[in-house]
Amino acid sequence: MENRIQELRKAQNWSQAEFATRLGVSRQTVNALERGRYDPSLPLAFKISTILAQPIEGIFIYDPS
Amino acid sequence: MENRIQELRKAQNWSQAEFATRLGVSRQTVNALERGRYDPSLPLAFKISTILAQPIEGIFIYDPS
DNA sequence: CAAATATGTAAAGCATACTTTACAATGAGG
DNA sequence: CCTCATTGTAAAGTATGCTTTACATATTTG
C-alpha cells in the first residue's frame, strides 16, 4: 500500500524525528512507513490521519491487487 | 478501538463465515474483530471498508485515550 | 425434539508491526 | 572543509494480527 506521509510531513516542515515524536513512535518507524517497508497498524493510521489532518483514505492508497 | 462490523454485517444478512469468505480471512478473525479482541491490519480495514461500503472512519471509532 | 447452522473460544504457530541500539550516508550551513 | 542535523539501514527482541485445528455452546429450522 502506498502513502503520502512524506509529502504531507514535509508540507509541515517536520523532520522524521519531529513527526515521530508527535505520533509517539520511533523515528525508524516513520522512516519505514515512508519507505513503504510495512503498513502502520490501524490505530497508528488514525493517529497519522489526525496529525496530518487528512482522512485515512487521503493518506493511504489501497490497491486490492 | 470500537467498530460497527457486526451491525453492518448483519445489515447484509451475512454470517460471520460468509463475511470472512468475502474478506479472504478466517471466520475466527471476523469473530475476534467483532468482539473487539484486536484491531484489523490497515489492509484488512480497507477491505472491510470496501465490502461494507463505508469509509474506514465510518466503521472504526478511534478513541485516542 | 432432532439436526443443522452459527457463534464463541483455546492453543500453537507464522507473519507483520514496532522498539532499541548502533552505525553509515547524505545534505546544509558555518 | 568541518560540523551538525537528517535520513537510511541492520539486527535482535517484544507485541500484535491472523491461521489452522478442534471443540463447546447457542440459535434456527424441519
Residue B57 has pLDDT above 90, yes or no: yes
3-state helix, strand, coil in chain B (%, to 5): 55, 10, 35
Rounded CA separation A58/A41 (Å): 16
A13: left (phi over 0), alpha (psi -120 to 50) or beta: left
CB contact under 8 A, B1 and A56: no
What architecture is domain B2-57? Orthogonal Bundle (1.10)
Closest CA to A13 of A52, A46, A56: A52
Residues of B in contact with A45 (CB under 8 A): 42, 45
* Residue A58: predicted pLDDT: 97
In this prediction, residue A30 has a pLDDT band, given cuts at 50, 70 and 90, of very high
Would you kindly state where each structural domain of chain B is located, as residue ranges?
2-57
